[in-house]
Chain A
Amino acid sequence: MAEAIVFWTLAVLILGLGIMVISARSAVHSVLFLVVNFLLVAVLYVMLNAEFVAVIQVLVYAGGIVVLYLFVVMLVSLKKAPERYADPRRVAWTGTLLAGAVLLEVVAIVVASSGGGEPAATEGALGAADTPFAECGAGPLVSCNTEQLGWVLYTSYLIPFEVASMLLLVAMIGAIVLAKRHL
C-alpha cells in the first residue's frame, strides 16, 4: 500500500516535471526541472531494488549529461526570445508523426515484454541506456543487482550494447567535427 502511494506520487511528480521541462520559459529552468525529474526516476529505480541502475541514472544523466546541456544552454543568449532560434524550415507535422511513431513503439515493447514474449532486442539501437533500464523495470523478478546486470548486458544484449557504443562513438566524432574549426 505504502509502496503504491509512493509510486503514484512519484509518477505524478515525474510527469508534472516533464511538462514543466517543455513549458518553462527559461532554458536553464527547463534543465533544472529535468535534473529533478531524473533524480525522481532514480528513486523509482530504488523502489524496484535496482540500486545500481538508480545510481548510474544519477551519475550519468543527472551528474553528467545534463551538466553538458546546462553548459550549452548557459551560452545561449537570453536576450533573444526562443522563437528567434526557430528554424524557418521546421515542419511541425513530421515531428508529430515521428513522436507518435516512437510512442507506438514504446507501447509495443511494453506490451510485448509484459506478455512474456522476447523483448525486441534490435530496438537497442534507439538509445544506449534505454535498453537496460527498460529491461530492469519490466523484466520479471530480475533483482537488478550489479552482477546480474553485467551478465545480462554482456550475454543476451551484447550486440545492442556494442551497437549503442558505436552510435555513441559516431556521435562523438560528429560533435568534434562540428565544433572544431580547423581539423
Chain B
Amino acid sequence: MMDTVVVPLLKIAVLLNAVLVAVTFLVLMERKVIAWAQSRLGPMRVGPYGILQAIADPIKLILKEDITPARADKYVFTLAPIMSLVPALVVFSVVPFGPDPFYYVSDINVGLLFVISVTSIGVYGIILGGWASNSKYPLLASLRASAQLISYEIAVTMTLVSVILTTGTLSLVGIVEAQREGGLWFAFVQPVALMLVFIGGLAETNRAPFDLPEAETELTGGFHTEYSGMRFSLFFLAEYANMIVISAVVVIMFFGGWLAPFPNVPALSFLGLVPAWIWFIGKIFLFLYVFIWIRATLPRYRYDQLMGLGWKVLIPIAIGNLVVTGILKVAL
C-alpha cells in the first residue's frame, strides 16, 4: 500500500508543486534575460532584484477579473485552458530526474511515445480556446495553431524514431542508460536529429520565432485574446510547462539526461560528484535559456513560411535522417 499508493502520490504532489514553482520562476527568468538582452533591468521592484516578481505575477493573475465573453461557448471556454495545462503536467510523470526509481514517478516501456502523445492533446486547449471565444482573431490563431502543431508533431516524431532506432527502447530511463553505456551523448551521434527536435520543439511550444498562434503584433495575442485572470494564467502556465517538457525531452534524448558530460572518461569522473538531478535540471535550464535567447533575437516567421519550413524542410530531413540511421544500424 505504502509503495503503490502513498509514495507515488507524494511524488506527484512534490513534482506538481515543483513544476508550478519552476514555471513562475521561469517567467521571471524570461523577463530578466530578455531585459538584459535589451539593455534593460527587467523587474526590479518586488523583492531584491525583482525576485519576488515570480510570486507577485501569479497573485495578480489570480486576483484579476475573469471575464467570459457574452457570446462565448461557456463550457468550452472554461475547458480549453484546462485541456491546455493538464497534458503539460501529466507528461512529468514519466520524466526521470535521476537514475533511481526514487527520482521518477514511473518508467513505462513506451515512455517517449507517451510524452509525444500526451503533449499532442495539449493542442486542443489552443484550438478550443480560440474557437470558444467567438472572436475573429482568436479563431484565426487557433487555425494557425492546429495546422502548426500537427505539422511539427510529424517532424518531431519522425526524428525521434531515428533516435529510437539507435537505442532500441522507448523508455526514457532506457534511453539515458543507453547513452551511459555508449559513453557518448546522442547529441554527437544524432546531431541532425537534435536540431530537428529543437526547432520542432520551438514550434510545438509556440515560442518565437514560431509564436504565430499568439503573435501579439498580428493577431493581438492570438488564441488567448479574450482570456483574462486565472484562465489566462492557465494558458500561460501551460506554455511554460511545455517549454520545460521540451527541454527535458531534448536533454534526455540528446544530452544524457542526468549524466555528467562524458560519463566514461575517467579524467572527468569528478563531475559525478554533482548530484544527478542537478545535472538534469541544470541542463534543462540551459535549454530554457536558449529558448529565451532566441525569442529576444529573432523576428517571427510568417504562417506560410512556417508551414513550408515544416513540410518542405524539416520532414524531408527527418525522413532522410531516419533512412540514414536505419542503413547505418543495419550496416554496422
Contacts and interface: CB of A to CB of B under 8 A. Distances in A.
Interface of A: 26, 28-29, 32, 35, 39, 51-52, 55-56, 58-59, 62-64, 67-68, 70-71, 74-75, 145-146
B117 A55 contact: yes
Contact of A70 (B75, B108, B127, B153): B127
> What is the interface of chain B mostly: helix, strand, loop, or mixed?
helix
Interface of B: 73, 75-76, 79, 108-110, 113-114, 116-118, 120-121, 123-124, 127-128, 131-132, 139, 142-143, 146-147, 149-150, 153, 157, 170
A63 B117 contact: yes
A71 B147 contact: yes
Contact of B109 (A51, A62, A70, A75): A51
Contacts of A74: 127, 131, 139, 142-143
B113 A52 contact: yes
A74 B134 CA distance: 10
Contacts of B120: 58-59, 62-64, 67
Given A32-B76, A51-B108, A70 B124 contact: yes
Contacts of B123: 63, 67
A52 B164 CA distance: 14
A26 B128 contact: no
B110 A51 contact: yes
A6 to B, nearest CB: 16
A28 B116 contact: no
Contacts of A64: 120, 150, 153
A28 B73 contact: yes
A35 B124 contact: yes
Given A28-B128, A58-B120, A71 B110 contact: no
Nearest to A68: B150
A63 B73 contact: no
B45 to A, nearest CB: 42
15 contacts: A26-B73, A28-B76, A28-B132, A29-B76, A35-B124, A52-B110, A56-B113, A56-B117, A58-B120, A59-B113, A63-B117, A63-B120, A67-B124, A67-B146, A146-B170
A9 B228 CA distance: 37
Contacts of A145: 109
